[in-house]
Structure 1
Amino acid sequence: ADRNSLAGVVRAYDALNQIREQTAATLPKLLVGTRLVFVDGTPDILAYPSDRAAYGRLCRLLSDGKLRAPKGECVLTLSDLLKWQEGLLLVVMPPHPRRAYTSIGLQEKVWNDGLADDEGGPGSIAKQAFENRIRAAPDEIEDLLRKLSTIAPTRVWLGAVQPLLGDDARQLKLWRSVARKAGVPLIASNDALYHEADRRPLQDVVSCIREGVSLRAAGTRLEINAERHLKAPEEMAALFDDAPEAVAETLRFADRVRFSLDELKYNYPDEPVPKGKNPQRHLEDLSWAGALARYNGAVPDTVRAVIEKELALIAKLDIAPYFLTVHDIVTFARGEGILCQGRGSAANSAVCYVLGITAIDPVQMNLLFERFVSEERKEPPDIDVDFEHERREEVIQYIYRRYGRHRAALAATVIHYRPRSAVREVAKVFGLSEDIGTALVSGVWGSWGKSLGEGQVRQGALDPENRLLARVIAVANELIGFPRHLSQHVGGFVLTNDRLDELVPVSPATMKDRFFIEWDKDDIDALQMMKVDVLGLGMLTCIRKAFALIRTHEGRAYELATVPPESPDVYAMLQRADAIGVFQVESRAQMSMLPRLKPKEFYDLVIEVAIVRPGPIQGGMVHPYLRRRSGEEPVAFPSPATAHGPPDELTSVLGKTLGVPLFQEQAMKLAMVAAKFSPSEANGLRRAMATFRNLGTIGVFEEKFIGRMVERGYARDFAERCFKQIEGFGSYGFPESHAASFALLVYVSAYIKHFHPAAFGCALLNSQPMGFYAPAEIVRDARDHGIEVRPVDVNFSAWDNTLEPDGAGGLALRLGFRQVDGFQEKWADAIVARRGNRYMTVADVARRAALNKRALVILAEADCFQSQNRDRRETLWDVHRLSGDDALPLFASQFVEEQPEEEIAPLPTMPLSEHVLADYQTLRLSLRAHLMTFLRDLFHGEGVASCAEISAAEDGSKAACAGIVLTRQMPGDAGVVFITLSDETGIANVVVWPGLVEAFRRAIMGARLLVVEGQVQKSREGVVHLVAERLFDRSGELARLSEDSTEVRMPKTAALHGHPRNVRAVPKSRDFH
């Protein structure tokens, strides 16, 4: 059982049910329970509910313990158990006999409690205390058993174990005597920690991680042997040969545990409806009213028929309250001016469309409602709604207020060990220094990879032949994929009509006023519970802010539904891959696809969103689709042998995508139509796809899928590619409805970018962090589109970036204080509120805005006083000469300076290169020049080309290019790395094939200034890539930018450690995997 948790019980329940579906054999009974661990010295107690009511009390007990503790902990005392014990079957586990520890790879035994003496031998204080506890334990256990038996007669047992420590017979005799005196049965247990004995070393490591100690310091926290694993019945009978009644008691105990998770009846909340209506009638009225609004008072017959069909199924499944909930949440958001849009399979629903939950007309796009809700699948609906990421918390707190925290909580997410976290934790356990742990993970990119090898060790300049390091890597590889901890889901709300904490334990999240249950979305699906996904999307924030800027400065009012559709100019922009900042299509892979796919209409954007995903890529479907689209290859539909079905059986499945499967539902339909999967088999495949990333269970369907297609006459190559695609969808893939919802935001964001570029760039900057590119590239792109970008200035800027007249009838983008590293919003508000006409001096700003010296230093280093005609160096000296008080008075009669006024000699002019470097260090961007401008002569002297020269180079030519690394991307599991370089002439796209990644890992992962040698690859559409052959980290060259003979010593400052040389030159790239 889990410790103070029921987090794993649904996984066990679901696994057992899946086995049950595939076999007629008798399967073991699942006993749902937990191991209660107390903070008041009470021995551990196994608690199993005898019925549904007792299960609810166990959930309340665990919730109480969790809600009074920090996230991830549970504070329980015996009094808590006594409060909630009714109906619980309780097994008191006596303390383990004295445990010793033989560390992995070491022969000496250490058995202390962390209180070793100076020579490192057993600590006498710890030894004596431990022996005292052992002597006192039987009496304490007997007293506890008597106390529990008085309150819970016939529901208390004493557990007994045989750990093979040499005195098992004596220990068993002792605990039989204690049980007899207390009048409770003795029950056999192996107190298992793992399923097989060879898992013991990993268990020791996990225990050390939990306790925060190394193996050497673990002492009696670990086991002396590997006996605590699951054992066969005959082995247990042999172990308890002297107490056969303890083994027999296990069967009687199991019979007493009558509760099953099958008994959990989920009740969705009753939604308030107008008097005289039930939820279904109210939903129908809202739907028809919404339909009239959507279709301008005239609902087409085809739409009417679909709505009627959907409402009938909703009534049959009795799920109208669920739709009312989501409608209410969306109505609240819109009433608060929060932009939102449904996505995912909900976009298949006409009811969702007319209720305003989704924005795509499923009838017009011929999307199927059954993809969302199906009577055959017997699954609850799942509606995902995106809200502005900056205002989603308002929606979350509204849900808590409306339903109460006893009926609403977020689902959990299981955080698994990934390579970086596994290596760091295991290195600590084995006693390696933090420096060595850091070196080991230096070769690991994010969560990339499923294992670690010698390459990563060498990358950290370490010896892979070292036995200790080899052991660390081996154990870390075992740990990868294991659950690490529970966290809150990004937005999946579980709502109940009754108390949620009687259905599942509830825990506090780290974030204030957030709570989450112990089960994740897969557990919720397995128990047929409904959730409402309240998700955050940065692009919605950006679009809403752009709409507001356009309304204010251009007098145009837009909503998502009123943006003019199908603009040829917008599609022409996208065909040029002019897509920086555009939702979903701004990655290098998507921007390379745009000129090849050449979108001309909305459905092309649906294809564009879906095609650059692991599903179509791994299935080898991208190139066939593009060839058919361009007319290079005829459109043809694979077909079975004549005896097995009509030749056009896949036409309805693949017709919209030219005979090539691209969407998730097409892959599922192929399983049913071409491989003749039954609904049950198809549902199993769908579930395997949903959990593939964590559980990897999809492989069990491979032989059946491919074999059946081949048997029916389909080409093996096509069948294998289809299954590869299904595996890719398991990693990440889009259903058509989801791609359509996102395609709408692609079009809207592209429309704003094309027709309102100033507002688009300003809104993008004000919505950070989001998207693919850092502010420097967003600013550069705005300037490339003719927008004047003006610097942060105390006399013109606000906290947010703003728009202002450019003097030529257009709009200029004024950078805001939010772009200044370390500057606080409250300081910006004070500057704006007290600015009046303008600030004349640094002292004027300090006095009127009441800014402390730290704030002034940050402003000076970011060169925010340009309107006062003061150089960065001059303003830093100005700040240095001010009073040293932390806070300067707002209404001081005289502004005190550190020294009497004196004539100050003019400071040498700061070189442009240093200005640019300082810009990057304080603003992460520069309006003056690109860093590479000052290194161009150096690299040209080495024969290294600019990004523009790479773009103009001939296909197949050899070239070298240098640039600042903007982004790194390693999509999927293929191991290919895409790098975007930037210089003063533009950007260059670099492709690094897997065989090269290992050899140049350090440069690929760590360089901020990178030189790439390779071959230019140019497609006929003009897409250019530099295919890497060698890569070099030249980040050290950036130090040249601050080397200047006229440099003067700056005053010491609090903001950025003085001279720019002392600060990293370039912000880190944005890396994706």
Structure 2
Amino acid sequence: MYLNCHTYYSLRFGTISETELLELAQEMQVTQLALTDINNTSGCLNFVRKAQEHNIKPILGIDFRNGVDPCFVALAKNNEGYREINSYLSQHLHEEKKIPAIAPAFKDAFVIYPFQKALLNEQHTLQEHEYIGISITDLRRLPFTKLAELKDKLVVQQAVTLRNKRDFNAHRLLRAIDNNLLLSKLPKTEEANPEEKMKPIKELFEVFSEYPYILENTERIMNFCTIFFDFSDNRKPQNLKTYLGNTAEDEALLEKLCKEGLPYRYPKTDTVILERLQKEMDLVKKMGFVSYFLINWDIVSHARKQGYFYVGRGSGANSIVAYLLRITDVDPIELDLYFERFINLYRVNPPDFDIDFSWKDREAMTQYIFERFPHVSLLGTYVTFQEKGAIRELGKVFGLPKEEIDMLCNRDYHISQLDDISKLVLKYAQFIQGKPNYLSIHAGGILITEKPIEYFSATHLPPKGYPTTQFDMVIAEDVGLFKFDILSQRGLAKIAEALEIIAYNQPKEIRTFDIHDIGKFKTDPHINSILKSAQCMGCFYIESPAMRMLLKKLEVDTYLGLVAASSIIRPGVAKSGMMREYILRHRDPERTKEKAHPVMLSIMPETYGVMVYQEDVIKVAHYFADLTLGEADVLRRGMSGKFRSREEFQKVKDKFVDNCRAKGYEDTLIFEIWDQVASFAGYAFAKGHSASYAVESYQTLFLKAYYPLEYMVAVLNNGGGFYSAEFYIHEARMLGANIHPPCIHNSFIVNHIYGKELYLGLMYLRELEEKVAERILKERVTNGDFLSLTDFIDRVSISVEQLSILIRIDAFRFTKVNKHELLWQAHLSLSKSTKLEHPKLFSPKQPHFQIPTLYTTDLETAFTQIELLGFPLCSPFHLLTEVPENENGKKDLEAYLGKNIDIYGYLVTVKNTKTHKGTRMNFATLVDQHGEVFDTVLFPPIAAKYFFRGRGIYRFYGKVVSEFGFLSIEVIKMQKQDYIQDPRYADKKP
């Protein structure tokens, strides 16, 4: 009898989940229930999935409204009707059109007009599929209206939005948040009726007992509605079924492509390769994943034709078929990649391919996919209220001052000190935490479906301009929709641009190597020595202090070693304590024999019996705990937070423990292994995924080894990486570059290198307008170099403020005129109000002024660079008020091993972290006086006493320690050093 029910997917309106709605209905003895969220279908598929567990027949619909003003409710008679109302909603959301008062002539959907709206539209003749909804409160007025005569058109429309008073309070707060109003200013028209609650079905019948025909009409249309989606384990994929239009042709094409790929990937084939290929092909065909592979092949083939760099990774990298189709660059035979992680008969979802493109090319690839295939949409996701965000929003709604909101967000209070309002904020922040706030886009998921996406969901149109589903990846997979991940990363753009820079800076070199010749790179001693010494700044995925430390501890000097390190660094392995255990066993084979359980060691000999890769979860579950491969895959997927709460995961967890006990394992061992499995928590990489990352790391290591300057310029031009631009510029200097500030003649928007002369780009001048920079470059390219400042002023339309920036950074140094004199000349030639936007037809005659001789010091230049660029181009140690008392640096650490050292360092980066007890500690990376990088650690007692106060030079006193050969300083004392006073303002009185 309930045709109009809302969940929290009626965003910033509803307060309960679809599961809570079903539980409420079950409690009220309801057997049929319609979910009709406001202009939203996010909860529909999961509502259908969960309804069968509650013995409730699900009905799907949409509550069409303009804001909170109801227009009509549409109920799908069947799946076609659901598609129909989804298409209608999508059109209005895309075009941002108002919902009309009268519904369209739906063929397979019922329409219910609210009583109040029906009164206003009495002239409208109801069609066969249209009805008028009567709520409990409407019953009082019904006899006094003409609508009472329409007995066969009246149905029960008792809206359900709330369960209790707390829900209503939360609802009002959400409405205030949505309207950006104080709660006290929220109009009643923005609220739901407090009576929008579900009553026991018998009580509802009693209320409408005088109007049995209303109950009969309601039951009739509910009985007419039916909806079905297959959520069973053997459900069929809903992706595009065939690539060429028929299965036989698809299979023939896949076989042909693999055959063509064999000589490229394996010049010498053997039975191992051919047997693996046949095994995979048989399964891919059997599971119906042929078109999935061909679509991925189509995408990467187009990318190669366009000259776009890409990396294929994910579990699909375990596949030889993917390797032959050039979707990935990972050889599964070489790495002995676990086939069952890629695919098995019990796995209903296809292998996961994440295809990374350069951030410059991803948009073009997305557009290609939308144009190439018939039914394409982006995958949605929900942005939920998080603790601090919820407190902040509710604090504003209650009118709390910013200081109090900040205090609550930072938990800087004692509960006894809080007033009632603050306590309410905390109470309801906890209540709305985790509930959807608004719809967004999945990081890279694209759905390519057999049917139009509206069969499953309405779509909205985010700023990207592509239709986007109103559900997320978890529900998509439940119903058989499997995403294609099209992602972007800057690492690929750095490689591509480095090749372009090499082509102009060392034109003879570019033809001497193939950046895709990974096999050659893997065995290059120069590359591997850089890897072993962890000199990896700028290199993809391996440049962070933590990764540099791990490489050093493991003494990684091979591709396989890097594959392992890429996964060991992940939080899942580190959190479980297995990263340390892996290092210990790697360095001491005897420890492996002593500590590793024989079964674990037999399962994972390569990683010393330590779980490192995602597929290790499957191996352990299958071989250690005797779970089926299907159950093991549920466990692997359960490592993702969203799946962990699923009942399937809990059942498999219980079976894991029961099976192990049945095999005679001690509980201590069982739960130790389970804790390791659980600690992966969705963070562990598949081995193929790590291998894909390692391939890209090797490409960047090659460029860093042989073309370091060109590569560092590419890194800078693509937004850097883990560190700020200043430190990549420092790295380029250490590698032999001569660094020049921006120059009118030699600089472009981005950085440019001529031989070893690196000219910083105009982009670093933070206050220089982009259009001014473009105007300068256009004039220089069109009419040649500038002859003088006067010539520049005559040819470029520029304001005196913008010209001053260029002069102060010394961009006119080619004139050999002191910049103070140039500033005088600029101000005398251009008045403050001058802002010319158009080129002059004739060069005006510039007046001649006699300007006194002026001078600039190096210190003044350094402080000007800090102001305009954000960092000096000289050594920051030259700016100290007191010269360092020693010259200790990284080179001296070994000599001080086990002793205390006094050392100065320029701060590169600080990682603030907490111990397992929750106390703060710091890891800091710094540059010494000689330009070398060293690392420090501040344990909790020291971190509580000393604080890093922003960028600058710090003096440390601490003990040099070594952990597995990695040297660092355990700080005892620390003091920030003072810079001299800015000489430009030295004469000014404070």
TM-score (norm 1): 0.79
User: 1:510 aligns to what SS in structure 2?
Assistant: coil
Q: 1:757 to 1:243 in 2, by over 3 A?
A: same
Please tell me whether residue 160 in structure 1 is matched to residue 135 in structure 2: yes
Please tell me whether residue 489 in structure 1 is matched to residue 442 in structure 2: yes
Counterpart in 2 of 1:762? 713
**1:92 and 1:159 in contact (8 A); partners too:** no
Counterpart in 2 of 1:215? 183
Q: 1:251 to 1:618 in 2, by over 3 A?
A: farther
Counterpart in 1 of 2:352? 382
Counterpart in 2 of 1:800? 750
Counterpart in 2 of 1:327? 297
Counterpart in 2 of 1:103? none
Q: 1:679 to 1:30 in 2, by over 3 A?
A: farther
Please tell me whether residue 75 in structure 1 is matched to residue 30 in structure 2: no
Provide, for residues 709-729 of structure 1, a one-character-per-residue CA deviation record: whole Å limited to 9, x for no partner. Answer: 355344545443443343343
Provide, for residues 250-303 of structure 1, a one-character-per-residue CA deviation record: whole Å limited to 9, x for no partner. Answer: 65554332012339986544766599981221222122112222223x433322
| Shift, 1:690, TM fit | 2.7
Equivalent-residue separation in structure 2 for 1:713 and 1:372 (angstroms): 31
Please tell me whether residue 261 in structure 1 is matched to residue 229 in structure 2: yes
Counterpart in 1 of 2:806? 859
Counterpart in 1 of 2:740? 790
Provide, for residues 538-584 of structure 1, a one-character-per-residue CA deviation record: whole Å limited to 9, x for no partner. Answer: 11110111122223333234444225322222222222221211111
| Shift, 1:691, TM fit | 3.7
Equivalent-residue separation in structure 2 for 1:692 and 1:972 (angstroms): 26
Please tell me whether residue 141 in structure 1 is matched to residue 118 in structure 2: yes
Q: 1:308 to 1:6 in 2, by over 3 A?
A: same
**1:348 and 1:368 in contact (8 A); partners too:** yes
Q: How does 1:452-471 map to 2 (within 5 A)?
A: 454-455=411-412, 465-471=418-424
Provide, for residues 811-866 of structure 1, a one-character-per-residue CA deviation record: whole Å limited to 9, x for no partner. Answer: 33222223322445554454344436632333322333444545423323433223
User: 1:31 aligns to what SS in structure 2?
Assistant: strand
Equivalent-residue separation in structure 2 for 1:76 and 1:570 (angstroms): 63
**Residue type at the aligned position of 1:496:** T
1:902 to 829, 837, 849: 849
User: 2:275 aligns to what SS in structure 1?
Assistant: helix
Q: How does 1:433-448 map to 2 (within 5 A)?
A: 433-434=401-402, 436-437=404-405, 443=410
**1:33 and 1:49 in contact (8 A); partners too:** yes
Q: 1:484 to 1:528 in 2, by over 3 A?
A: same
Please tell me whether residue 398 in structure 1 is matched to residue 398 in structure 2: no
Q: How does 1:55-454 map to 2 (within 5 A)?
A: 55-69=82-96, 75-79=98-102, 81-83=103-105, 85-94=106-115, 137=116, 140-142=117-119, 144=121, 147=124, 150-153=126-129, 155-161=130-136, 171-175=138-142, 180-184=148-152, 187-188=155-156, 191-194=159-162, 197-221=165-189, 228=196, 232-233=200-201, 252-262=220-230, 268-269=239-240, 273=244, 278-296=249-267, 298-403=268-373, 407-434=375-402, 436-437=404-405, 443=410, 454=411
Identity between Structure 1 and Structure 2 (%):
22
Please tell me whether residue 548 in structure 1 is matched to residue 500 in structure 2: yes
**Residue type at the aligned position of 1:61:** Y
| Shift, 1:765, TM fit | 0.6
**2:740 and 2:758 in contact (8 A); partners too:** yes
| Shift, 1:766, TM fit | 1.1
Provide, for residues 997-1044 of structure 1, a one-character-per-residue CA deviation record: whole Å limited to 9, x for no partner. Answer: 8x689x67x844596988646224453445578999x79x67944674
Please tell me whether residue 712 in structure 1 is matched to residue 733 in structure 2: no
Equivalent-residue separation in structure 1 for 2:882 and 2:58 (angstroms): 73
**2:344 and 2:629 in contact (8 A); partners too:** no
**1:340 and 1:388 in contact (8 A); partners too:** yes
Counterpart in 2 of 1:817? 762
Q: 1:1011 to 1:82 in 2, by over 3 A?
A: same
| Shift, 1:622, TM fit | 1.1
**Residue type at the aligned position of 1:174:** R
Equivalent-residue separation in structure 2 for 1:294 and 1:470 (angstroms): 65
Shifted more, 342-351 versus 306-315: the winner is 306-315
User: 1:794 aligns to what SS in structure 2?
Assistant: coil
**2:498 and 2:714 in contact (8 A); partners too:** yes
User: 2:59 aligns to what SS in structure 1?
Assistant: coil
Counterpart in 2 of 1:844? 791
**1:757 and 1:787 in contact (8 A); partners too:** no
2:552 to 595, 617, 621: 595
Q: 1:1013 to 1:709 in 2, by over 3 A?
A: farther
Counterpart in 2 of 1:507? 460
Structure 2 stretches lacking a partner, 5+ long: 1-35
**Residue type at the aligned position of 1:657:** T
**1:412 and 1:520 in contact (8 A); partners too:** yes
**2:515 and 2:699 in contact (8 A); partners too:** yes
| Shift, 1:246, TM fit | 6.3
Provide, for residues 218-249 of structure 1, a one-character-per-residue CA deviation record: whole Å limited to 9, x for no partner. Answer: 14156699664555546656776777876777
Counterpart in 1 of 2:19? none
Counterpart in 2 of 1:674? 624
Equivalent-residue separation in structure 2 for 1:319 and 1:870 (angstroms): 70
| Shift, 1:797, TM fit | 1.3
| Shift, 1:346, TM fit | 1.2
**Residue type at the aligned position of 1:393:** E
Counterpart in 2 of 1:105? none
Shifted more, 569-578 versus 824-833: the winner is 824-833
**1:492 and 1:531 in contact (8 A); partners too:** yes
Counterpart in 2 of 1:117? none
Shifted more, 337-346 versus 873-882: the winner is 873-882
**Residue type at the aligned position of 2:260:** A
Shifted more, 313-322 versus 336-345: the winner is 313-322
**2:113 and 2:133 in contact (8 A); partners too:** yes
Provide, for residues 159-214 of structure 1, a one-character-per-residue CA deviation record: whole Å limited to 9, x for no partner. Answer: 414xxxxxx5xx53324765633324655565333456534433322221112211
Q: 1:977 to 1:253 in 2, by over 3 A?
A: farther
Report how many aligned residue pairs link the two structures.
938
| Shift, 1:944, TM fit | 14
**Residue type at the aligned position of 2:660:** M
Counterpart in 2 of 1:126? none
Equivalent-residue separation in structure 2 for 1:365 and 1:306 (angstroms): 13
Equivalent-residue separation in structure 1 for 2:769 and 2:863 (angstroms): 22
Counterpart in 1 of 2:491? 539
Q: 1:470 to 1:909 in 2, by over 3 A?
A: farther
**Residue type at the aligned position of 1:30:** P
**Residue type at the aligned position of 1:535:** L
Counterpart in 2 of 1:893? 842
**Residue type at the aligned position of 2:714:** A
Structure 1 stretches lacking a partner, 5+ long: 21-25, 95-136, 162-167, 444-453, 641-646, 806-810, 1049-1060, 1062-1073
Counterpart in 1 of 2:478? 526
Q: 1:160 to 1:29 in 2, by over 3 A?
A: same
Q: How does 1:768-783 map to 2 (within 5 A)?
A: 768=719, 770-783=720-733
User: 1:313 aligns to what SS in structure 2?
Assistant: helix
Q: 1:200 to 1:288 in 2, by over 3 A?
A: same
User: 1:315 aligns to what SS in structure 2?
Assistant: helix
**Residue type at the aligned position of 2:180:** G
Please tell me whether residue 28 in structure 1 is matched to residue 3 in structure 2: no
Q: 1:739 to 1:597 in 2, by over 3 A?
A: same
| Shift, 1:785, TM fit | 2.3
Root mean square deviation of aligned Cα:
4.0
**Residue type at the aligned position of 2:324:** V
